Every structure is written in structure tokens, then in C-alpha cells.
Amino acid sequence: MIRVLFMAVAAIDVRYSGPMNKTFDEETRLAKWLEVEAALAHAQGKLGTIPKEAAEEIEKKAGTKHVKLERVKEIEAQIDHDLMAMVKALSEQCGKAGGYVHYGATSYDIEDTATALIFRDAIAQIEKRVRELKAELLRQAEKHKGTVCIGRTHGQHAVPTTYGMKFAVWAYELQRHLERLKAAKERVSYGKMSGAVGTMATFGPQAFEVQKLVMEKLGLKPALVTTQIIQRDRHAEVLFALALIAASLEKMAKEIRNLQRTEIMEVAEPFGKKQVGSSTMPHKRNPHKSERVCSLARNLRMDVQVALENIAVEHERDLTNSASERVIFPDAFILSDYMLSQMQGIISGLEFFPENIKRNLQMSRGLIMAERLMIALTGKGMNRQEAHELLRQASQKAFKSKRHLKDELLLDSAVVKYLTKEELEDVFNEETYIGKAVEIVENAIKRLS
């Protein structure tokens, strides 16, 4: 026999691969199919639907120790049906008991139930990654709860905040993702033994008992009513939860990318001693890991679109969902796992540049303290709207003249009437205008840890 060797083509098999790949590889899929077949035989043997001895033999042989992937592929090449190839390969190993393999079942009784097992395992891995990243964010939040920096809205300097606030906001978001994953895992952990159109006709009078026992054996819940397949809203929800995680990771990565801009350079993702930033510009220190996260997030959103399209199958089922699911299911989970791993490395190794953080905090020459001044003037008796207009005009003058706002206000008799020079000095201390930021971060750490 001539063997043809193929090199990996898909990026998820090489560049973006990780532990999740094993969860979705062909060997694991075969093992899960066999696990379902074993559970079916166990239930039927217990109920007397098939001989007990046959059930025991099928359970004994329904594993990749006996049923080899290579043999399944040989059979599939002949019959062009992957699930039936597994059935034949298992039957070969069971002798006379082989005649009872897959008794009463249709392909998607096995495939969809096995998919639930795979999704359950895969979601558990994603949950672990999310928890690890959340813990890293909380560590950074604790470390930098008092690291005062400029807050930005609309890309413009706003008022001071802290880096601890940034990390705490992200950690809180990940907590919500954990809650979403838990709910999605609950709804996708359903299996079926209901036959070709969901009526259970082939399983006879004990059909409900068969389904119940199979699902109990597998740790799944029996679907209340199905067609030939488990309805795809369940799977779409899982992929949507993954896409939401990806969107949050993209938000983190984009923030780091922007803060690493040369003219800002407050933080930077880790950069190895021998790492190369550019093939032609030796000085470059590109945030390529963060850019990669942003890029892959687009793929996750694309997978959701396909998953939504797969919900609308025709009648009791067609095959339009099948081919695309072979792509989007592993793609979404493998990329999510990879992105979470990358982001944890970025956050844990994030480099800070305190001198640049302080420089940017003071860059506006006091303009960022206009809000605080408005509050201070109002507290001294000035009308709030008058104070706002006064500071709006003063800020424009200071901006055009490149003068510090404090110096501009010292020339204004209306301001001097309410605030002394010493009080103005205190107002312009950026480090003391962070409100309850430290307490907010500490509360978040306590709540989310």
C-alpha cells in the first residue's frame, strides 16, 4: 500500500496550536464515539434489549485500544461514511456480539452525544484559562492600584485614573464570561438516543429508559425532544460565549497596543532578548502578540456567524451544518485557548515605564484638572454653570498660548476671588485626584478573588 504523507496546512495545527488541539483531534473524536456506543450497549444490556453478554463484549472493545483510527479510515475510504466506518470497525472487534453494535441508533445519536462530551471537556479547559488570566489581572490590579495615569476618552486626555482600575475592569469582565460559560456548558451538555427523526421508533417500548440510562452513564442530560439532531442554538450559544471572550481579549490587546505607541509608551508587552521586531528596522519593538490577539478575534466572530446559520436546518435535518461544524468547532475552541494563553503571557510580563506615565499625566499643562477646579469653585460658592464656562474659556486660552492652566487662572480675578494660590496648587496635584480608585480596586479584588 502506498502511503501519502501530508504536511499540516491549517494554522491551528501548527502556529496557534496548544493543548486544546488534542480535545478536537480525530483520535479523541473516535474515542468519544466509542464511549457513546459503549454506553448504549450498557443500557440495552441492562434493559434486556440485547443479550447481556453482547453488551459486555461491546463495552469491553469500545475503545481506541481495540478500535484503531487507521482501520476506521480504511473502511471510510471504501464506504464514504465516517460514523458507519467506526461501527464496522467496532463490530469487527466484537465477534458475534458485533451484530448488536449501534442497535437502534442513527449516526447523530452517537455524533451529537459525543459532541456534547467534547464541548463539555473543551469548555472546562477554557474556564481554567479564563480563571488563570483573571487571577493575573487581579495580581496586576493589586500591584498597580495606586499607579496614577491619565485616563483617556475619545482618544483625548480626560482626568487621572490608575492602572489598577484598568486591570480590575478587565478582571470583572472575565468573571462575567465565566458565568456565561457555565450557563452555556449547562445547555450544551445534552445528548440524545431518539433515532432518525426524533421519534425513538427503533428503540421500542423502552426507548425513554434507554436514553435515560445512556445519558446517566455519560453524565449528560437527555434532550426532551429532538429531530435527528440536537438543535444548533445550543452550540451557537457556546461559540457566542467564546466570541465574547475574544472581544474582551481584543479590547485588552488594543489598549496595550495603543499604550505602547512610541509617543505614549507607558507600557509594553514582553520582548525577548533575542526577539526581532522587524526584518529591516532593527530598532522596532512591535506589539505583535497583542496584534495577533486582535486579528484572531475576527475569526471567532466569523465562526459565530456560521454557527447562527447552522441553526436553520431543513425539516428534521439536512447536512448543511455538518461540514462547517468540522471547521468552526475546533477553530473557535483552539483559537480561544491560544488567545487566552497569549494574553496571560502578555499581562504577566507587561513592562511599565513610570517616567512616561508621569510625563503623559502632566502633558496637558494642567488642563486635565479643569473638572476638579470646576468642583472646587462651585464648592466655594460660584455657580456651577458659570464655573464650567469660565474654565472652558480659560482652557482654550491656555491651550493656544501653551501656558499652564494654573498660570492662566491666576490672571483671572474671578478665580482668585474664590481660591488662593495655595489652594490652586493643591487642586493641580494630579496624584490626589483619583477619587475612590484604590478602594474600588480593592473591593474588586476582594469580590473576584
Instruction: For 248-257, write each residue's pLDDT tens digit.
Output: 999 999 999 9
Domain 13-100 has CATH 1.10.275.10: yes
Residues making up the chain, counted from first to last: 449
Give phi and psi for 30, each to the nearest 5.
-60, -45
Please give the Cα distance from 373 to 377 (Å, whole number).
6
Which residue pairs, CB below 8 angstroms and at least 24 apart, start in 95-102? 95/57, 96/54, 97/51, 97/53, 97/54, 97/55, 97/57, 97/58, 98/58, 99/54, 100/41, 100/44, 100/50, 100/51, 100/54, 100/55, 100/58, 101/37, 101/41, 101/58, 102/37, 102/40
Average pLDDT, the chain: 95
Kindly tell me if the per-residue pLDDT of 7 is higher than 80: no
Residue 3 banded pLDDT, cuts 50, 70, 90: low
> What integer pLDDT is reported at residue 72 of this predicted model?
98
Picking from 9-18, 184-193, 258-267, which range would have the lowest pLDDT averaged per residue? 9-18
Kindly tell me if the per-residue pLDDT of 239 is higher than 90: yes
Please give the Cα distance from 64 to 321 (Å, whole number).
27
Closest CA to 202 of 112, 116, 107: 107
Please give the Cα distance from 367 to 362 (Å, whole number).
9
Kindly tell me if the per-residue pLDDT of 261 is higher than 80: yes
* Contacts (Cβ under 8 Å, ≥6 apart) of 48: none
β pairing state of 351-352 and 267-268: antiparallel
Residue 12 banded pLDDT, cuts 50, 70, 90: confident
The tens digit of pLDDT for each residue in 330-375 reads 999 999 999 999 999 999 999 999 999 999 999 999 999 999 999 9
Do residues 404 and 366 touch, judged by C-beta distance below 8 A?
Answer: yes
Kindly tell me if the per-residue pLDDT of 271 is higher than 90: no
β pairing state of 221-222 and 190-191: parallel
> What integer pLDDT is reported at residue 2 of this predicted model?
54
Q: How far is CA 69 from CA 27, 31, 57, in A?
A: 7, 9, 20
Do residues 245 and 342 touch, judged by C-beta distance below 8 A?
Answer: no
In the chain, the largest separation of any two C-alpha atoms, in whole Å, equals 103
Residue 221 banded pLDDT, cuts 50, 70, 90: very high
Do residues 247 and 297 touch, judged by C-beta distance below 8 A?
Answer: yes
Note if 336 is an active site residue: no
- The CATH number that domain 115-190+229-271+286-359 falls under is 1.20.200.10
pTM: predicted TM-score of the whole model, two decimal places: 0.94
> What integer pLDDT is reported at residue 403 of this predicted model?
95
> What integer pLDDT is reported at residue 345 of this predicted model?
97
Q: Which of 81, 278, 295, 401 is catalytic?
A: 278
> What integer pLDDT is reported at residue 4 of this predicted model?
57
DSSP conformation class of 225? S
> What integer pLDDT is reported at residue 246 of this predicted model?
98
Residue 10 banded pLDDT, cuts 50, 70, 90: confident
> What integer pLDDT is reported at residue 1 of this predicted model?
47
Query: Which residues make up the CATH 1.10.40.30 domain(s) of the chain?
Result: 367-427
Query: Which residues make up the CATH 1.10.275.10 domain(s) of the chain?
Result: 13-100
Average pLDDT value for residue range 44-72: 98
Helix axes 163-188, 233-259, angle to 10 degrees: 170
> What integer pLDDT is reported at residue 293 of this predicted model?
97
Percentage of residues in the chain with pLDDT exceeding 90? Answer: 91
Please give the Cα distance from 305 to 297 (Å, whole number).
13
Kindly tell me if the per-residue pLDDT of 160 is higher than 90: yes
Please give the Cα distance from 318 to 228 (Å, whole number).
9
> What integer pLDDT is reported at residue 9 of this predicted model?
78
Q: Which of 42, 66, 144, 154 is catalytic?
A: 154
Do residues 269 and 289 touch, judged by C-beta distance below 8 A?
Answer: yes
Residue 8 banded pLDDT, cuts 50, 70, 90: confident
Note if 81 is an active site residue: no
Query: Which residues make up the CATH 1.20.200.10 domain(s) of the chain?
Result: 115-190+229-271+286-359
Closest CA to 354 of 274, 431, 282, 283: 431
Average pLDDT value for residue range 88-114: 97
Average pLDDT value for residue range 414-441: 94
Please give the Cα distance from 30 to 83 (Å, whole number).
9
Determine the topology of domain 367-427 in CATH.
Ribonucleotide Reductase Protein R1; domain 1 (1.10.40)
